[in-house]
Structure 1
Amino acid sequence: MKKIHYILSGIIAFFLILLTLLPFLFKDKIIARLDREIAKTVNAQVNYDLEKIKISLWRKFPNLSVTVSDFSIIGNPPFQQDTLLNLEELGINFNLISVLFDENPSLTSLELNGGSFYIKVLEDGIANYDIFYSEEEQAEKDDENQVKVAVNSISVQGVNFVYDDRSTNYFMGLTDVQAKGSGDFTSETFSLPITMAAEVRDIRYSGISYLSQKHFEGITTLEVDLSQMEFYISEGNFILNDFGFNLSGLIAMPKEDIDLDLTFSSPGHDFKSILSLVPGMYTESFSDLQTSGTMDFQGFVKGVYNETTYPAFELGLKIENGMFQYPELPKPVRNVNLDMLIKNESSVLENTSVSIPNFNLDFGSNPVSGKFLLADLIHFPIDANLKGVLNLDELTSIFPIKGMDLKGIVDISASAKGKYDSVKKEIPLMDIQLALSDGYAKNQEYPSALENLFARARIKNEKASMQDFDVDIPQFGFDLEGESIQGKLNLRDLDQLIWKGEITGGVDLKKVLSVFPVEGLNLEGKIKADLVSQGSYAAVEAKNYNQLFIQGTLEVEDFSLISEDIPQGVKISKAKAAFSPATLVLSEFDAVLSQSPLQATGNLTNYMDYFLNQNGVLKGDLNLQSSKFDINEWMRAPSPNSNSTSLAVFELPKTIDFTMSVAAEEVLYDNLSLKEVKGKLILREGVLIFSDASMKTLGGTLVMKGNYDPRDIHVPKFSFDLQVIELSIAEAFAKFNTIKAFAPISENLTGKFNTSLKLSGNLGQDMMPILSSLNANGLLQVLQTALKDSQILHGITSLTRLKDTNTLQFNNLSIPISIENGIMDVKPFNVRLWDYQAQVQGAAGFDGSMNYLIQMNVPAGKFGTQATGLLASLTGNAIDQNTPIPLAFNLTGNYKNPKVSLAGGNSIETILADALKSRVQGETKALQDQAKEQFAVIQDSLKQELQTKATMVQDSLKKEVEKQTNLVKEKASEEARKILKGFLPKSPPTTKPDTTVKKENLKL
């Protein structure tokens, strides 16, 4: 018996050891197969670390479990900046028997744990999840059988999910998604039980948020028929916050359309559950909320959904005798009764009707009741009324309003009946009256309160016509610490929009925001107004400004503004403007924009048209002065991959027409300090025009006229006429990228230069000139300069063995310059190099490449012993020590690595012999012409190469602009992203990236 016990124990121990060792024995095989399958299947950048792959039999026994940590997939262009999938842990489980005995193991289940899943669809329908090779492409890549897919379960734990579809303007953001489904995924028909849970951060469509900050749970069984693309929800129980509902029916996608046949209802009839969907009510104390009453919710969706057709639908909600009361507050909301039906029996969304024949509720002792009937969304036939009185002090004893004390009586009575027809100029009959009296609002964190809040308003239309429409606010105002604001306004005739209003008084903005704080806004200052205005929008449209009247003054003191849009901050110590019908006169304006002081005076005209007409143009004539203005503070934007900032393109308004005289002691732009800046700026039709502008910088003076044109924000343009007077060559090289590219020799030059230059081209998104787009024409003048320690000079010395050629002096140098599409062409010009007469010509490219021909005549005696023997062997009066020897140098490569060679590739000895003999034979000119012909061939080749490279650069920049465009489009969902701050995946680690990217993608 003991022997059998030992045998059994040994067998068990053997199997335990075997189970422990098996993962190590098959690890290389599994990883290699996994890597191969990804490479065959996924056309994207897949990242994972081989060192972080774990294999175990114990974790999912009897299956073999493979766990991959820090797994991510990055999309292809234009999604190379987006991480499609970023998982803390990816679990892949295989059938153990298939691992042991089959060439291709069977995949049984998948686990996605932690991380983010980000789906993006652009306006043109391109999606970042389109990363898989087709079956044909997979077959071409590998004719082996793939991993057998026999998945019977998929689980998701703690994954965040974003679906951002720009083509349909739909956005959904979920966090902490938990889901599990199991079924025979290899079959065309199977049952799929699913459990799921998530936090709904935001669901929006066409800019309207329909669900936000809600908790969702669900359990259902999905009957799947993949051959017919039909999905039947046989049982579906879901909970949104505390609101439970059932959902069942069919979703079919036979082709492009979606067929829907769904019904939904609430299994419970507890009024409390529907309250959980009311914003602000579903808090930690919701479970303690005291409620009573019944609720019934049901509806259906049936029909076809596509781009032009909507399914029929119906949604009904009925509440009877509802009541709720917060346990910590003394008064309840009672008698909540609502009967609502929203339906559409057709396939046209505009035929939707809304019926609320009655609703009522009591806020404490204050009843509110009404009805709302809307027949369709075409002419909006409406029959509605609302009546109630609210005691704000009593309201705070019903709803928890933390940190705020409210008082006052709000009385509202409203009715509307009729339809809207813009052609017939009909609107519903209306009578809406609103009154606020004895108003009081106090933030408990601020000692003072807004007092004596009052307002009366009436909107009426007794003849159902736009002309009879009338809004009358005979009085409104409030007091705050001894200061008060009062006013009145009348607006009538929706066709003519005739107004008459006035406002007087002063207010301290900091005190107002202390009572009603606004997140992300820091606002201070005192505003005093005394304004009266009357007129009509019809007069504005007809530009009959003489029919408009506005009179009065507006004063601002100690104003300060910091917001998310203006983080630099604006401070106005004093500003005063006087209004008349024709002109707004700015008599005083003393401000600091960020750290830059600015004073201004002037006048604005056409301001009524600008404020009241969408296309109105504000005209102005301003005088601007500053002791030191830093432009960089208003042009810098965060760099994509760092915390630093760089210059960014800024758009100019097209509805501003300003002429500005500017005088500044110093202006900072990029890395330049500009002194004594003065000139005239004209902002017109979105273009900034410089006229008679002058400034001192880099030891000299710049005078210019031209324009900055960002109307195409992706490819902004510039054009300038420049006059440069005595600018430092060395400092200009250090500050200007254009000089570094086209005249890198400036790095080793001393002295100053003058130039007159016409310059134009495109700007990149960093506000730097795109060198391959530059065009220029002008003349460069250098009075005196010296060149030392240049690689070019060393090359000439090495070739010729001439003495004293390591230093070069220039006097009265004039160089004609022309640049076309980033290629600088230097026409032949004469210059003395050392003591020798020379001619220089050539070209330089935006990429720093160059090709120059230098021709000069050197007396034969300067070559020393190299020429002595040759001179002795030749006879004739024409040949002596002063006989000029023509030399031609080809200068190619780039300035950091120049290539200096003698034309024709001969040695200096050969050139001397040929030159001296040619002097006898009269062939000197033939040698010079030959050098020029050889140079011209090289020149044409270089220009062609540069032109091709410029085209490639421009194409590359276009792709970059497309990427920038996509980044700009991100702003469409910026508000939702703020809700999901910290939610989107970060860039994954690049350790041991997988090589599943197409080779052509590697060139981008």
Structure 2
Amino acid sequence: MKKTIIIILAVFTVLLVALVAVPFIFKDKIIAKVDQKIASAVNAQVYYDYNNISFSVFKRFPHISATLKEFGVIGNPPFQNDTLVHVNNLQVDFNLKSILFGDNPSLTGLHLDGGSMYVKVLGDGRANYDIMYPEEEQEAAEESDFQIGVDLIEIKDFDLIYDDRQLKYFMALGNINMVGSGDFTMDVYDLPLKMEALIADITYEGTNYMRNKKFSGETQMNIDLNQMKFTFGEGNFALNEFLFDLKGFVALPEEDIDFDLVFAGKDNSFKSILSLVPGIYTESFSTLNTAGNMDFKGFLKGKYNEASIPTFDVSLNITDGMFQYPDLPRPVSNINLDMQVINTSGNLDDTKINIPAFNLDFGSNPISGRFLLENLVTYDIDGLLKGKMNLEEMTSIFPIEGMTLKGVLDVNATAKGRYDSIAKIIPMIDAKLLLTDGYVKSAEYPAPIEKLRVNATVLNTTGKMNDFQVDLTAFGFELEDEAINGKLKVNDFALLKWDGAVKGTVDLGKLLKIFPMENVIMEGKVKTDLLTKGSYEDVEKSRFDKLDTRGDVEVTGFYFTSVDFPQGIRIRDAKADFSPDRINLTQFDARVGESPLVASGFLSNYMNFFLKENETLKGQLTLNSTRFNANQWLTESGEADSSDLAVIELPKNIDFNMKVQAAEVLYDNLNLKDVKGSLTLKDGVLNFTDASMSTLGGQMVLNGKYDPRDLSNPKFDFNFNVVNLSIQEAFKSFNTVRILAPIAQHLSGNFSTSMDFSGILGQDMMPILSSLDGKGLMKVLEASLQNSAILEGIASLTKLSDARTLQLKNLALPIEINNGMLNVKPFDLKLWDYQANVQGSTGFDGSINYLVNMQVPAGKFGAQANTLLATISKTEANESTLIPVAISLGGTYSSPKIGLAGGNSLESLLTNALKSRVSSEKENLTAKATEQFKAAEDSLKQELKLKAEILQDSVKKEAEKKVTETKSKALEEAKGLLRGVLGNKAKPVVKPDTTKKEDN
């Protein structure tokens, strides 16, 4: 017996050890097969760390499980900055038998725990999920022997964002949990499915249809892959507390989508539908007292394609509804609603909305009405809204924390008829709105807004546009002995005639305390006395003499700052008077950020601009400042960090002429003095005229333009004249000088230049060096060059004792810049009292390529030349004989490569030059060296031009990416909502892993 037990224990131990060891024995085999499958099928960057892979046979015995942490897929261009999927933990199950005894591992299960997916479809239809190689490429590749036998898929705590910019559809789901089990290898199979998720956002064509709703569902689906048909069986679904059933199928036979779905509420009460109302579905929802019945049902049947939609019929009925918060004295009761939304044609325009009756009581205040919309083409409507609401009583039902409201709001409105702008028909309308004895008191401010009143009537008894009239008889309020009052009448909907006035004073600081805005500081008083009378027809035809708009507006002690405007603006005093054709700014004394600013001028065409589309606001302004810090406006944070600069977009519907004068302007690292000039902003382009300034010890005059109409490719084109600027300061201040004229680092003196200069700006508002083009003449009256690696190299090469310093006088350099290459045309000058000629180029990549031809007396080469002279008999050569020396400069300025052209040594150069004199040979050594230099230079220029084109293309693509990112606000908002609702659960920063182990 004892022996038997020992044998059993031994066998058990061996099996246990084997089960633990098997994963490690076959780890490389499994990983190799996975890598092979990925490489042959996926056209994207798949990242994971070999060391984050573990294996076990105990997680889902008798299957072997491989677990991978931090796994993901990043798309190829144009999606190289988008992570398609990231998974915190991915468990893949394999058939143990296929691992032990076969060559083809069989995949049996997928488990995904934590992560996110971002599906993105561009406007042109390209999608980041399209990462599989085409079938013909997969067939051409080595055939995979990987087997699929999945019978279980499990997803936990996963986020999904679907951003389809072609369909203008956006969906964000969070906290997805799903389990599905079935024989996924079959073409037709049943799939028991459980799922829950947070619906953070669903938006279609700019309209939000659902936000922050909890979804859960459990159903039995039938999957028919042959027909691409998905059938829903019996199941339970819920949105928040609203329960419903869904039956039928969705099929994708070809391009169309076929729907045949029936849905209905299930075991619901009135409280269930309330759970879909965001303001009511809060943490206290479970304590809400409710009563009433609710019935919901509908169907969706037909094809969805570009030409049609499925027909549908959705109805909602509520009877005797009531809800009341336990701690509040009054309920909302007597809630009754009968609503139907129906479409029987499959044409969206034929959709009909019918609410024959609804009513509810806010405490003792009843509200009732009806609404019928026959279609979405002629908009035939028949509506009624009637009710009276005591605001103090309403806040006893829906309290507003820290706020007291009083007053009575009375609404009585009917509308019936058709809207047809061509036939000039509108519904007959009779609507009255009256707010009396309005009172608003905030706990943040001791005094209330009182005597708040609005008396408005909208009337049209015939349905004709010219009989339409709006009469806002009176509106206004008082706040601590300061009042604002006004009136407005509008009639004739076709001509849009108006007659209105507003007069009084409002304290913005007091209003902000009563109605606070997060992270906003505002104070100051606005005093107005305006009368206006006219018609839209007169505006269209610019008959300003028939418009009567007059009065003035005065702003004093104004201050405003916010998160989006951290620099802030303070207006000490500003006055503007109005006339029909213009607004005159007669006074404007302000400080924008830390910069004082005084302005005057006028705006014209303002009526057209505000009342019509595609109109241009015109104006003329004069701006004066004693010290303007432009750096405050170049970054969101207000810090002068060029890495945070962004392209400044200019409005295309503004036509301004501006005269600017500033004693001092701070821009980047420049201090500009006595700045003045004229600027014209038109069609989104800013033009500079005679913009002069003192800087870097000299004077600069600028003419040109800045054109950011293509935000991914903003251009500039300037002509500037510079007089007597410091070479050293220019090197420190201008990046273009540092790159294209690095010799300026060791030059002391001043320079002048007249130059045309154009190119493209990067997204940091800095010039893209490879795009620069220019032409001009640079003049240097006197300069000194010393401590230069080039001079040291020349002195070492030539043994010329005076070559370590250089004095330059009356230098005129004709220069051109093409694709970021500075070309210096051949010019003559004196180098160390030797006649010389210099030519060459400097590239945007810092490379230099120059040729220096000098005529040096033989005696300057010292003992070596004298020895050679002594060996040559019967010669006219002597110490004053000029030796042609051609020096090539390559490499970079800080690390130059210096040599004699043609690869000569100094000894051979001297020997050949002196012998050529003796034998009277006329070979021109200088011309030969120049010819060789130009041949090499042409090759280098072609290489640099190609590099420039590649770089500019790369910069443009990056710029287009940034422009696209600015249009992805909905995406970022959805991500923020997911983070907020889900409790800021941490997500890893996804980056490709480069440590993947190579196959041995």
Same fold (TM over 0.5): yes
Contact 2:643-2:764 at 8 Å conserved across structures: no
Aligned with residue 869 of structure 1, among 857, 867, 870? 867
Describe the shift of the 1:973–1:560 C-alpha distance in structure 2 as closer, same or farther (beyond 3 A): farther
CA deviations 1:315-344 (Å, max 9, x no partner) are 111111212222111112222111111111
Distance 1:326 1:911, change over 3 A: same
1:52 to 2:21 alignment:
no
- Deviation at residue 139 of structure 1 after TM alignment: 4.2
Please tell me the residue identity of whatever aligns with 2:506.
Answer: V
Question: Bigger shift: 256-265 or 3-12?
Answer: 3-12
Equivalent pair of 1:265/1:297 in contact (CA under 8 Å): yes
From 743, 747, 750, the counterpart of 2:748: 750
Name the SS for the 2:968 alignment partner. helix
Q: TM-score, with normalisation over the residues of structure 2?
A: 0.96
Match 2:989 to one of 981, 987, 990: 987
* 1: CA distance, partners of 2:47 / 2:219: 34
Which residue is equivalent to 1:830? 828
Deviations 1:230-254 (A, max 9, x none): 1111123210011111111110001
Q: Are 2:883 and 1:881 aligned?
A: no
Q: 1:992 to 1:685 in 2, by over 3 A?
A: closer
1:104 Cα offset (Å): 2.1
Residue 642 of structure 2 contacts residue 764 of structure 2 at CA under 8 Å; is this kept in 1? Answer: no
In structure 1, list runs of 5 or more residues that go unmatched. 997-1004
Find out whether 1:465 has 2:472 as its counterpart: no
- What's the counterpart of residue 532 of structure 1? 531
The correspondence of residues 548-947 of structure 1 with structure 2, limited to 5 A, is 548-636=547-635, 645-874=643-872, 878-923=876-921, 926-947=924-945
Contact 1:48–1:991 (CA<8 Å) still a contact in 2? yes
1:68 deviation in Å? Answer: 1.2
Shift in Å, 1:24: 2.8
SS for the counterpart of 2:399 is coil
2:419 aligned residue: 420
Distance 1:995 1:646, change over 3 A: farther
C-alpha displacement at 1:989, in angstroms? 4.8
- Relative to structure 1, the CA distance from residue 269 to residue 713 in structure 2 (aligned partners, 3 Å threshold; closer, same or farther) is closer
**Are 1:208 and 2:207 matched, yes or no?**
yes
Deviation at 1:916, TM superposition (A): 2.3
Amino acid of the residue matched to residue 33 of structure 2? R
- Cα pair distance change 1:507/1:986, threshold 3 Å: farther
**Residue 873 of structure 1: how far off its partner (Å):** 4.1
Q: How does 1:345-364 map to 2 (within 5 A)?
A: 345-364=344-363
2:45, 2:992 within 8 Å by CA — same for their partners in 1?
no
The CA deviation at 1:135 is 4.3
Partner of 1:445: 444
Question: Which sits farther off after the overlay, 607-616 or 299-308?
Answer: 607-616
Matches within 5 A, 1:52-451: 52-146=52-146, 148-451=147-450
Which residue identity is paired with 2:102?
D
Q: How many residues align?
A: 993
Could you list the per-position Cα deviations for residues 656-704 of structure 1 after superposition, in whole angstroms to 9, with x for gaps in the alignment?
2222222222212222222222222222222212122222222222221
Query: 1:907 is matched by which residue type in structure 2?
Result: S
2:326 aligns to what SS in structure 1? coil
Q: Deviations over 1:816-849 (max 9, x none)?
A: 1112232322222111001101111222322222
- Following the alignment from structure 1 to structure 2, what is the Cα–Cα distance between the partners of residues 875 and 573? 93
Change (3 A) 1:944 1:843: same
* Code of the aligned partner of 2:69: S
Counterpart residue number, 1:41:
41
CA distance in structure 2 between the partners assigned to 1:233 and 1:643 by the alignment: 58
Q: Secondary structure at the match of 1:932?
A: helix
Relative contact order, higher structure (CA 8 A, sep 6+)? 1
> Offset at 1:985?
5.5
Give the distance between the partners of 1:86 and 1:27, measured in 2 at CA. Answer: 23
Partners of 1:46 and 1:995 within 8 A in 2: no
Contact 2:36 2:144 in 1 (8 A): no
| Aligned equivalents of 1:540, 1:871: Cα separation in 2 | 95
- By how many angstroms is 1:556 displaced? 1.4
What does residue 485 of structure 1 align with? Answer: 484
Deviates more, 1:535-544 or 1:19-28: 19-28
In terms of mean alpha carbon deviation, does 629-638 or 421-430 score higher? Answer: 629-638
Partner of 1:516: 515
Paired position in structure 2 for 1:543? 542
Q: 1:564 to 1:924 in 2, by over 3 A?
A: farther
TM-aligned CA deviation for residue 567 of structure 1:
3.2
Q: Structure 1: how far apart are the matches of 2:548 and 2:987?
A: 56
Secondary structure of the structure 1 residue equivalent to 2:748: coil
Q: Structure 1 residue 895: deviation in Å?
A: 1.7
Alignment check: 8 A CA contact 1:610 1:618 kept: yes
Describe the superposition over 1:404-458 as per-residue Cα deviations: whole angstroms up to 9, x where unpaired. 2211111111111110111111111101110000111222333222111110101
Residue by residue, what CA displacement relative to the aligned partner does 1:372-403 show, whole Å, maximum 9, x if unpaired?
A: 11111000001111111111111112223333
- Give CA deviations for 1:217-239 in whole Å, capped at 9, x if unaligned: 11111100001101111123210
Residue of structure 2 in register with 1:1000 after alignment? none
How many angstroms apart in 2 are the aligned matches of 1:625 and 1:922? 73
Q: Compute the displacement of 1:141 (Å).
A: 3.8
CA shift in 2, pair 1:985/1:925, >3 Å: farther
Deviates more, 1:774-783 or 1:678-687: 678-687
Q: Secondary structure at the match of 1:402?
A: coil
Structure 1 position 794, deviation (Å)? 2.6
Q: CA deviation at 1:654?
A: 1.8
How big is each residue's C-alpha offset from its partner over 1:467-513, in whole Å with a ceiling of 9 and x where there is no partner? 11111101001111222111111112222111111111111212212
* Cα separation, 2, equivalents of 1:141 and 1:740: 51
Contact (CA 8 Å) 1:45, 1:994: kept in 2 or not?
A: no
Quote the Cα distance in structure 2 between the aligned partners of 1:545 and 1:984.
61
Contact 2:564–2:636 (8 Å) recurs in 1: no
Pairwise CA distance, 1:943:
2.2
* Higher mean C-alpha deviation, range 272-281 or range 55-64: 55-64
Partner residue in 1 for 2:501: 502
1:50 alignment partner AA: Y
CA apart distance, 1:47: 2.2
Identical amino acids, percent of aligned pairs? 52
1:929-968 matches, within 5 Å, as: 929-968=927-966
Q: CA deviation at 1:638?
A: 8.1
| Kept in 2: contact 1:46–1:993 (CA 8 A) | no
Shift of the 543–985 alpha-carbon distance from structure 1 to 2, 3 Å rule, reads farther
State the one-letter code of the partner of 1:152. D
1:21-40 equivalence runs, <5 A:
21-40=21-40
Question: Separation in 2 of the partners of 1:846 and 1:9?
Answer: 77
- Structure 1 stretch 530-539 or stretch 351-360: which is displaced more? 530-539
Aligned twin of 1:1002? none
Distance 1:984 1:758, change over 3 A: farther
Q: State the AA in 2 paired with 1:168.
A: L
Contact 1:116 1:984 in 2 (8 A): no
**1:987 deviation in Å?**
3.1
What is the deviation of 1:521?
3.6
Deviates more, 1:642-651 or 1:819-828: 642-651
One-letter code aligned to 2:53: I
In 2: Cα distance, 1:486 partner to 1:638 partner: 40
Q: Deviations over 1:944-981 (max 9, x none)?
A: 22222222222222322332232132135454444345
- Paired with 2:509 and 2:178, the residues of 1 have a C-alpha distance of 49
AA in 2 matched with 1:769: P
Change in Cα spacing, 1:579 to 1:923, as seen in structure 2 (3 Å) is farther
Mapped to 1, the partners of 2:898 and 2:977 lie a distance apart of 62
Structure 2 segments unaligned to the other structure (5+ residues): none
